[in-house]
Structure 1
Amino acid sequence: MGARSFALSAASVFTTPARPQDFLRLVNPLSSARQLRGVVTSVTPECAGSVTIAFRPGHGWQAHEAGQYARIGVEIDGVRQWRSYSLSAPAGQDPAITVTSVGRVSRHLVEHTKVGDIVFLAPPQGDFLLPTGPRPLLMLTAGSGITPVMSMIRTLLPRRADADVVLIHSSRTPEDTLFRSELAMLDADHDGFHVVHRHTGTDGRIDFTTPTDLEQLCPDWRSRKTYVCGPAELLDDATLMWRQHHVEDALSVERFETALLTDASGTGGRVVFEKSDKEADADGSSTTLLEIGEEAGVLMPHGCRMGICRSCLVPLRAGQVKDLRTGEIRSDEGDLIQTCISAPAGPVHLDV
């Protein structure tokens, strides 16, 4: 038994029926045996509608690797909401997230977070990671897709004098560009780091139907390990181009959103969350069961919110649901439903 475990065990003699951790939490809000937490240490504006929120995690946090993300929980109107955010701080340092005010939780974080606030945390995860050995790299990013790549750049450049990195970043205007000043300084200070800004408001988007645009920006792109992060259209276009030129194995893609059908909607209906004893009426839109549950105040399990990690699986007790990616209808009682990419196709009962 470790020293900390022994001390807690001994202290329990005096705190029963409560646990020692319950008393510790009165003194240290980061102390919790049930839920990892962090305290906000800084809130730094980046550009209009975007901030970087740094926090000091409590005991149990696993140091992140460059490019990973973590689930962040925040209380909004008495309901704990969770979202996944890429970590923008260098590997091994206290974590930070860079958030743009799009969506309910992100808007809350941008507009209301202040130093000293407590956030809820889940361990870092994800395999959008730097290669283990030296290799020329190309980073293709757009908008907030630069966030995990910024963690990679901040990690790699101080550690490797021989780093060879080309970053091509797209934003609508110079004023919309995250980390612009820091990127300019890094470009000036490191011979092996080259930044290319593409302002779509004046330059247009990169054309991936032919390699012409890319070859002008990075002539040796085929020989580089490439990381792509940004809107789904960028990811799809880059994946197709790399596949057509037989270099798909050199491509790593990080998705922030799920590719849905053109008619990504259910038929709606009443959703009953049996264990939580809550109900909600859903219209025939593309609102997912996960979102419906959260709006109803149900503590819904989830992770990536994109149908990848399968952390959101919930047993179907009755009714039908529609997979918003494929259009498949699921109706077998006991089926495990991915609530983050499923919508009700009529009345639904879920075991949550």
Structure 2
Amino acid sequence: MDLLKWSKRPAAGVNARKPQVNVVRGLVARATTPLLPDDYLRLINPLWTARELRGKVVDVVKETADSATVTIRPGWGFPATYEPGQYVGIGLRIGGRWHWRSYSLTSIGSSSDTTISITVKANPDGFLSTHLVDGVQPDTIIRLAAPKGDFHLPEPVPGRILFVTAGSGITPVIAMLRALEARGDAPDICHVHAAPTRDDVIFVDEMQARAADADHYDLTIQFTREMGHFDVARLDEWVPDWRERECWACGPPSLLDAMESHYEAGGLRERLHTERFTISRTDHGAEGGKVRFAVSGREAEIDGATTLLEAGEELGITMPFGCRMGICQTCVVPLAGGYVRDLRTGAERREGERIQTCISSVSGECTLDL
């Protein structure tokens, strides 16, 4: 057993579909040290690497004027299956720097399809999202992080479901809808979606076609530019039995805040499942300051609204990350020195504590061993 562990160790942590393959990889790695098999394999195919998850952009198709579906062929180690509704980390090298963000998968993890897809809405302040929608070319090699997230349907699927989405919040829900259809499941679904105009609705044709063909899928679209903003009080009008349904909601913070308050007021919070694409940054007086990355030998002065994760990535440091919202714990590291502040709660952390870099900013001065 010790020999087996010794053999596998160079490829440990790689999520191989056939675990025994890692024994072979490990033995080859031992034989080729100080170079690893990856150093040779990447010359043949850049997706053949066990050090990190990679993928190749296969296609980019516009959905609306400011959104597009990016189809990706993952390389070695990417999980064969995942839950529709989960998100995946995407790393893209632009201008000599790696930029990372997480996006909901719009593919459903079918064993017959070796590709995955994400659907991205370009954010005016989002450098990577804009590049994915308007700039990335087929055959581009990207980095991937394994699918994660708890925003997915349970087994067995509830008999009655409510989806509430707005804007790009449709992306994890469209994967759920596609998966239900592919499996032949037909729960009673009511879906309320909000967007400025019809031209802004991602997957509008697909949703309306499903509503026309399936008696169990009821769709309400609120065009906010002409009908006004989404009003949670209108749930009684749109979905009279909403209190009896399990609800999955995804959209901007204002919509999710309203949904959470509404469900809590009705004593139904356990029926509501939400997915947030951004953290809610509250002004708790985090003054910013200097962050040092001891291992990399780099440092930066940042303001109190910039996260340590963003600061490290801006310096070109490979930072662990997952959801970027303080949920998955992938970005947790020990604070080697100084103080940081949680952007959501204002709570201060000090040297020796473990912190989440995606929701923390420096409070005066801090050091991370990265």
* The two structures share one fold, judged by TM-score above 0.5: yes
Q: What is aligned with 1:70?
A: 88
- Distance in 2 between the 1:305 and 1:194 partners? 33
1:20 aligned to 2:37? yes
1:249 aligned to 2:267? no
1:306 aligned to 2:325? yes
Q: Would the alpha carbon gap of residues 197 and 81 (structure 1) be closer, same or farther in structure 2, given more than 3 Å must change?
A: same
Q: CA deviation at 1:17?
A: 4.6
* Per-residue CA distance 1:155-196 (angstroms, 9 max, x = gap): 112323533212111001111110111112222222211211
- Distance in 2 between the 1:18 and 1:339 partners? 32
Q: What is aligned with 1:86?
A: 104
- Distance in 2 between the 1:155 and 1:342 partners? 36
- Cα pair 1:260 1:325 within 8 Å, conserved: yes
Of stretches 48-57 and 319-328 in structure 1, the one that deviates more from structure 2 is 319-328
- Cα pair 2:55 2:142 within 8 Å, conserved: yes
Q: CA deviation at 1:7?
A: 5.3
Q: What is aligned with 2:190?
A: 166
- Distance in 1 between the 2:37 and 2:369 partners? 33
1:297 aligned to 2:321? no
- Which amino acid in structure 2 is aligned with residue 306 of structure 1? M
Q: What is aligned with 2:141?
A: 118
Counting matched residue pairs gives 346
Q: What is aligned with 1:141?
A: 165
- Distance in 2 between the 1:179 and 1:187 partners? 12
Q: CA deviation at 1:339?
A: 1.7
- Which amino acid in structure 2 is aligned with residue 311 of structure 1? T
* Per-residue CA distance 1:277-308 (angstroms, 9 max, x = gap): 0011223x411121122112222222111112
1:95 aligned to 2:116? yes
Which of 42, 58, 65 is the aligned partner of 1:48? 65
1:346 aligned to 2:364? yes
Q: CA deviation at 1:13?
A: 8.7
- Which amino acid in structure 1 is aligned with residue 71 of structure 2? A
Q: Would the alpha carbon gap of residues 4 and 170 (structure 1) be closer, same or farther in structure 2, given more than 3 Å must change?
A: same
Q: CA deviation at 1:350?
A: 2.0
- Which amino acid in structure 1 is aligned with residue 361 of structure 2? A
Which of 255, 268, 271 is the aligned partner of 2:288? 268
* Per-residue CA distance 1:49-93 (angstroms, 9 max, x = gap): 111001111122112211111111111222222211110112324
Of stretches 104-113 and 49-58 in structure 1, the one that deviates more from structure 2 is 104-113
- Distance in 1 between the 2:95 and 2:160 partners? 47
Q: What is aligned with 2:15?
A: none
- Which amino acid in structure 2 is aligned with residue 95 of structure 1? I
- Distance in 2 between the 1:105 and 1:328 partners? 30
Q: What is aligned with 2:153?
A: 130
Q: What is aligned with 1:316?
A: 335
Q: What is aligned with 1:277?
A: 297
Match of 1:235, SS state, is helix
- Distance in 2 between the 1:195 and 1:347 partners? 51
Q: CA deviation at 1:14?
A: 7.8
Q: CA deviation at 1:151?
A: 0.2
Which of 216, 241, 258 is the aligned partner of 1:220? 241
1:36 aligned to 2:35? no
- Cα pair 2:331 2:356 within 8 Å, conserved: yes
Match of 1:80, SS state, is strand
Q: CA deviation at 1:118?
A: 1.3
- Distance in 1 between the 2:152 and 2:316 partners? 35
- Cα pair 1:64 1:95 within 8 Å, conserved: no
- Structure 2 spans left out of the alignment, 5+ residues: 5-18
- Cα pair 1:265 1:287 within 8 Å, conserved: no
- Distance in 1 between the 2:154 and 2:367 partners? 45
Q: What value does the CA root-mean-square deviation take over the aligned residues? A: 2.1
Q: CA deviation at 1:206?
A: 2.8
* Per-residue CA distance 1:78-131 (angstroms, 9 max, x = gap): 222221111011232431111111212212222221211111111111111113
- Cα pair 2:145 2:322 within 8 Å, conserved: no
Q: What is aligned with 2:9?
A: none
Match of 2:147, SS state, is coil
- Which amino acid in structure 2 is aligned with residue 107 of structure 1? T
- Cα pair 2:38 2:51 within 8 Å, conserved: no
- Cα pair 2:149 2:328 within 8 Å, conserved: no
TM-score, normalised via structure 2 length: 0.87
Amino-acid identity (%): 43
- Cα pair 1:157 1:190 within 8 Å, conserved: no
Q: Would the alpha carbon gap of residues 278 and 141 (structure 1) be closer, same or farther in structure 2, given more than 3 Å must change?
A: same
- Structure 1 spans left out of the alignment, 5+ residues: none
Q: Would the alpha carbon gap of residues 17 and 258 (structure 1) be closer, same or farther in structure 2, given more than 3 Å must change?
A: closer
Q: What is aligned with 2:10?
A: none
- Which amino acid in structure 2 is aligned with residue 73 of structure 1? G
Q: What is aligned with 2:12?
A: none
